[in-house]
Chain A
Amino acid sequence: MKRFALAGNPNCGKTTLFNSLTGSTAHVGNWPGVTVERKEGTYKRLEEPVSIIDLPGIYSLSPYTNEEVISRNYILDEHPDVVINIVDATNLERNLYLTTQLLEINVPVIVALNMMDVLEKANASVDEKILEEKLGVPVVKVSALKEDNLDELMKKAYEVSKSPREGRTIISNKDLLHLIGDVSIAFKGKKVENPLFHSIKLVENDEVEVKDHSDLLEMVNEFKKTFKDDTFGEDFEALIADNRYHYIADNFANAVKKPEVEENEAKAVKMSKSDKIDKVLTHRVFGLLIFAAILFIVFHLTFSENLFFLGGLFSEVAPSFEGTIYEGLFWTDGGINSPGVILFNFFDMSFGAIIDAIRGALESAPAWLSGFLCDGVLTGLFAILGFLPQILVLFLFFAIMEDTGYMARVAFILDRMFRKFGLSGRAFIPMIMGFGCSVPAMINTRTLADDKERTATIRVIPFFSCGAKLPILTAIAGGIAMAFGFHHVDLITYSMYVVGVIVAIIAVLLMRNTTLKGDPAPFIMELPEYHWPQFKALMIHLWDKAKHFVKKAFTIILASTIVVWFLSSFGWNWHMVDSMSDSILGSLGQLIQPIFTPLGFGSQLGAFGWVFAVAAITGLIAKENVIATFFMLAAVFVSSSNPEIVEIVNSLIEAGEATEEGIDEAFIMIAGTGISWQGCISFIAFNMLTIPCFAACATAKAELPKGQFKWTLLFWLAASYIGSACIYSILSCFTRDTSRLAWAIPVTCGILLAAAAVVVFIVLRNKRNAKKEANA
């Protein structure tokens, strides 16, 4: 099958074109660096199917970051049949700079002038004939988004692929050409492919080239000595870049036609629109505040059970729907539900009804069958599926921020702050992607140029609580709200997210000052124009997310919950047990339970306290497992005939806190084990900070520099254990229980002292080092 590679500047619409051509649903966004891996798809509307390869965006063929190396190597080494060079027609000058380099390679090239719809909207036009004539390759106007002219592009690309093309350069400086010619003879002598391309790069002093062909370097330097440009001296890098840009300016200034009279007007309108938005969102004072506020509103709309804190105003007038199926859907004691919570409740209630119906139908069936289906399979599965709508609502907001171009602005706003922590603002983007899923976030760190910065970023990405950890947050926060009467689930969730971010900051600060020392990498990034989010792109993104989530629920999580159900229902003698504590899982759980005592969910809990330990460990496979296990164990817990539990459940029903059908699983666990709210928070923190799921670990191993993975695992373990122990201890100072205060206060003081000592140590050492450097 023929292979057509898509190459072009970042954010010029390669992935949009790829999706349109292949019917794929690859992720697109409005910031440079969305695609960091090559992706393949098939285009079927030609006489034979062809393979389309989407490459990461590049500004030039001299790679700067890791994902750019992928593109260069693919084009040079894998010999695609055609390179389709996508050029953003609204920004010809910089885009054609890459084109001039692609033309130097011996490969058929075709230029796709993208974003023609945007250009035409501004009443401008491009004369593709001028481009075609000068560049010597076919040029086709397209709109990847509107899917205009794509078949024409592919037809021409197919034509072009039939005959080979010799690389040629647009460099016109005679002396320079002479030098390049001599070097390329040497390359030809070495039988290197693409001699023209390699010789230009070697003359440019390109890092990769110098390393690969160090034997020719001496010769090139000899040649260079005989050569001196009037303006650039011996600065060949600048000279060649200047040659390229001059060529573009000289030849294509006339290719773009904007209506003369309206030109200034159109420009003024466009400028002021993006400027007006920017004036507010990147304001010197309010920029950071607005960002914090936007994040809070996003979480509020997703998790709040008291929308905009209006609960008190409407508690008298709002219909309670008591006794109807709508009870508790839109409205709880706390106030109006947010869209996220309404969706969650809707799913939760439907699933509850399904389970009850099945349980009823199986009343006469053997106990193990009903137990297996209802407790083992459905409870865990539904526990996870129930959170899907809330996760999607959260992702929708993030996707909007990404698609409009705001995300890139946030990197711009935060760079100064991030630099204080030893990272560049660019590192913010993979971090915030971590709120979605750690796996793509870790892969996206390829856009960071510095290896140490990458390692530090990958290590803290799991602290940005991902979608799979969200159920842990919401379920336990919901349980806390019920059990301890604190009715602001969104506040608990929001502050847990903030705790994750704070731990990430502390960890980065420590790493960048000790094991991963180094200056922050430069921050040179394109800022995309704002545009309205594309409905189609948003939906594709959400659909992808939902598909992935449901698939995972029905495979890994379903399998794990069945195993956990079995282990918790059967004893070592392979008979069903009456009390979960006698089960295989129970005895194993009790064995590890003491480890978690300093974290608040270990030995101090009652006979069933080990469920927390077990839930945390199943989370190593997939984080959804924590809550799936938790809920499943709660279901086993309730349906077991253990007199203690029957008593607890009955007392809850009597107190009106639970009904026989709608018992909140997290609540049961909290009430049943007697865990304190500090222990609950510590449990959430532990799961947020500990070793991430299996998939994220595999990604980290692949993305981290060699030998760093084992230290990273250790780092995660230490961070979660120490982090949640500190949180538990500090929070325990806010209790009325004097026996806990007796240890909590001294330990907290110890933690604060130790933290202060570390800070003083690092500050002193940095000062001393700075002095040493100054002296040197």
Chain B
Amino acid sequence: MRLYLELAKKSFQNNIVYRADYFASLINAIVLIFVNIAIWKAINEEEGALGGLQLNILITYIVISFLMQTVYQMDEYFIEGKVRTGLISTDLLKPFYFRLFVFSYNVGSMVFKFIMQFIPAMLLSVFLFRLLPPFNTQMLLYFILSAILGYLVLYNINFIVWISSFWFYWTFSLVTIKDAAVMILSGALIPIWFMPTWLIDFIELTPFNAIFYTPILIYLGMMPEDEIFMSIVKQILWIIALFGIGHILWKRATKKLVVQGG
């Protein structure tokens, strides 16, 4: 356990070094939030367009969603890089579980982004966009739990895609297509409740709404309390299922690992 904490700490410190990247992605998040809010405000001007839903709620949705996206950004080419350079063969020999190593690496930078980007941007948003606070303290706690589970859902989806680098030399295309699916179907860019019913029904069958949508609904207090329990159970089930798929793929991948030169 201490070993993995240490690895996460290293990854955290690694992030501090790249200051330009840090400011770039912070500004990026703020600009995107700002632009999206401008668009939603324009939509809101058509009278009653938002169906009585307060603009404030929508703005809060957008802000939380974009901030979560910033924090949930992972190093998509970490495993690919290891496979391509052949470093993975020595990593596999080291006395740790490779998958836990990758996980701690990502958690380290997630914690960094949470402290250094999420919190400042959140405070800024309270002033800039009049962000609504969580519905109540209880919902805040549920939100934190659900957000952590959302991260794990996304992580396990990502892991399945990353593992494909054992079969394909480059994973850029798969990663990008996966990103497109996540961005649209997770409700990250437009709240799922605005989508047509057939699409909502489809999304219900996928793990995508368990990433951002569930935690944000809880934050906003838009999910009835009896549904919260079910949604969280659903998140956990998806984590187990996706982890299972990842596990099987991993077993196969390590069996057929071919390192090209190194």
Q: Do A and B bind each other?
A: no
Which residues of B are in contact with A by a Cβ distance under 8 Å?
none
Which residues of A are in contact with B by a Cβ distance under 8 Å?
none
